[in-house]
Amino acid sequence: MNQSNDKLLQIADTLEHINEQLILLTIDTEHLMMALQAVQVDCAISKGVINAVIMALSGNATITEDLSGQLDGLLAVPQEEVTSHE
């Protein structure tokens, strides 16, 4: 295997690690949202704050899912190139 294929594999491994971290972050974010949804409060202001945090977490989960999908697409390209040159 030549040096450029080694570099592609190294980049793919790094992107795969980043993708795994994004997936874990998405899962953690969704768990935090579920935990906050279970909180019962009588104060309207506290409910508003909890809902605002849930909305922010939801937005972050959407972003991390989107980034993970983009990385999946990038990861497919180097593997196809390396496979076709071997």
Quick check: helix, strand or coil at residue 1? coil
How long is the chain?
86
Helices (H), 1-86: 3-37, 44-85
Residue 39: its H or E element: none
Separation between Cα atoms, residue 33 and residue 57, nearest integer Å: 7
Q: What is the pLDDT of residue 10?
A: 86
The larger pLDDT score, comparing residue 64 to residue 81, is at 64
CA 86 to centroid of chain Cα atoms:
31
Record the pTM.
0.75
The predicted-structure confidence for 24-80, as pLDDT tens digits, reads as follows: 999 999 999 999 999 999 999 999 999 999 999 999 999 999 999 999 888 887 555
Q: Rounded mean pLDDT of 8-37?
A: 92
Q: Where do the structural domains in the chain lie, given as residue ranges?
A: 3-85
